[in-house]
Amino acid sequence: MSTQIEKTILDKANIWLNGNYDEETKNAVRDLIENKPDELTESFYRDLEFGTGGLRGIMGVGSNRMNKYTVGSATQGFCNYLKINFPELEQIKVAIGFDSRNNSKYFAHIAADVFSANGIKVFLFENLKPTPELSFAIREFKCQGGIVLTASHNPKEYNGYKAYWDDGGQIINPHDKNVINEVNKIQNIDDVNFKGNKDLIEIVSDDFDNVYIGRIKSLSLSPKIIKEQHDFKIVYTPIHGTGVKIVPQALREFGFTNVHIVKEQAEEFGNGDFPTVKSPNPEENAALALAIKQAKDIDAELVMATDPDADRVGIAVRDGDDFVLLNGNQAATLLINYLLSKWQENGKLTGKEFIVKTIVTSELLVDIAAKFSVKHYDVLTGFKYIADIVKRLEGKETFIGGGEESYGYLVGDYFVRDKDAVISCAMIAEAAAWAKHKGIEMLDLLKEIYAEHGFYKEKLVSVVRKGKSGAEEIQKIMSDFRSNPPRLMGGSRIVCIKDYQTGESLDTITNISTPIDLPKSNVLQFFTEDGSKVSVRPSGTEPKIKFYFGLKGKLDDISDYAKVNDELQEKIDAIVGELGLL
């Protein structure tokens, strides 16, 4: 068995040795064959998949790695699909962006060559830019598609390739599957045209930032309050990424004059080695450690950190003399509460406004929207589905804001169709200044929201199961939940079960099922009598199954915050035990 696998791998490696690959690549493949058999196996045992979000993988030579040839093949397939979809256009156009990761700029230029070689006009950013600015550029230049080279918050060994459609949102059904089909048709590197046409590549300078920032500034809801609170002290870190210039610029344009950058993490062109962190992920405490230290040293009031491609933001707020990191649901709560409060204060609510959240994001956002008589929409996990709702309702209803528990948020006004940490940083800072104007700290404001609507405590538990047997085990876990669902969770009766794979919502009291008006997806949700929610979802990109806990308690007085928080954590721990996840 192992001999056969080895032969298959060697056969694939020999295709690279004998095909139209450059000598540097061929020498690297020879080195793997002669000296690194295990690495050879990892590099060639499969083809790097172009999934529904694009490519993502470790950089290196081989069919299972991010390199000029896998990037070229993906781009050729995307070119072919664009030509199929827009045959009537005299000139198809795309925009290309890249982040601070090693080789991102190089891969972006490879992709630009392939697009232009296929007769497609390319708007290529001159320097690293946030992913949301790429979304904005697609809409601003009236492109039919676009890509950004990024692996988000993955470790430094990785890079990736996200594909976008003409609305500026990531590709969704049916385009995602159809693009994948076209990419899979590229079986030979000779099918890829790498000979770029420089006449079709237009370099987009940093001046474009001003257009983007100007549009963001139009979202401000409290310019007078910011003028009063302009000295509000903020510490920001781009974590070696693309937010390094543009986030501070956005904050300055909003009127904040006391913004401090974490210099150790703020190189002008980023640093793909991410030298100060194990992972450039704003969800992790360690990634914000330097920023929080600086905030304590200068007595700042708000800490914000963006990931390498600046589409997600993590925040920390004051808790006495210390700082506490908020999770994605808590940050979304404060942001949405501010937006709806200000829209009401400013007399802008007409009854046609809406917010959007993913199904695994806190139900507290639903309660807040209901308070202001603002409609809410639930979508499947993935910001591309939020963008799709915004697209479908454009001109009919007004999008105020939306978010997901994984630290991604967007605030209207239809000019970006992806999560946007630049907009989010500016609006979160504005929300904090608004709270200070009212004489309240952000953490205390969150406690007041809990006291009004209920204390929502969230936790994500991921169970990793690797390999073929792991995939089968994950499938069995989902099957067991469907065939034998629990009746209680944390001592509370389950009153509703939503199965997004069958598309049915079951009321367990009446035993009546109703259809779920969302695309089919392998997700289960259990809603309890006390207002809690547990979601179960296999990851689409990693060998794990995710359990999202959203428990609801009662906070009669904010002085009981710590006590109720501990009680809900104990309840989550108990359910984790009940489900055998420890």
Query: Mind telling me the catalytic residues?
Result: 152
Which strands, in side-by-side order, build the sheet including 145-149? 54-58, 158-165, 145-149, 93-98, 121-125, 201-204
Single-letter code of the amino acid located at 346:
N
User: How far is residue 427's CA from residue 242's CA, in Å, rounded to a whole number?
Assistant: 18
User: How far is residue 50's CA from residue 73's CA, in Å, rounded to a whole number?
Assistant: 10
Q: Which residues of 449-461 are buried (b: 16+ CB within 10 A; e: fewer)?
A: bbbebbbbbbbbb
Identify any residues that bridge with 280 across adjacent strands, giving them in sequence order.
none
Instruction: State the residue for tokens 């009919």.
Output: 396
Question: Helices 421-437 and 208-217: crossing angle, nearest 10°?
Answer: 40
Q: Cα 537 from chain centroid? A: 17
Q: Taking the CA of residue 564 as centre, how many other CA atoms within 13 Å lie in the half-sphere pointing to its CB?
A: 19
Q: What is the CA radius of gyration of the chain?
A: 24
Q: Three-state DSSP class for 207?
A: coil
Query: 407 and 310 in contact (C-beta within 8 Å)?
Result: no
Query: 242 and 116 in contact (C-beta within 8 Å)?
Result: no
Query: 129 and 205 in contact (C-beta within 8 Å)?
Result: no
Query: 287 and 277 in contact (C-beta within 8 Å)?
Result: yes
- For residue 112, what are its two tokens? 């630009």
Query: 43 and 63 in contact (C-beta within 8 Å)?
Result: yes
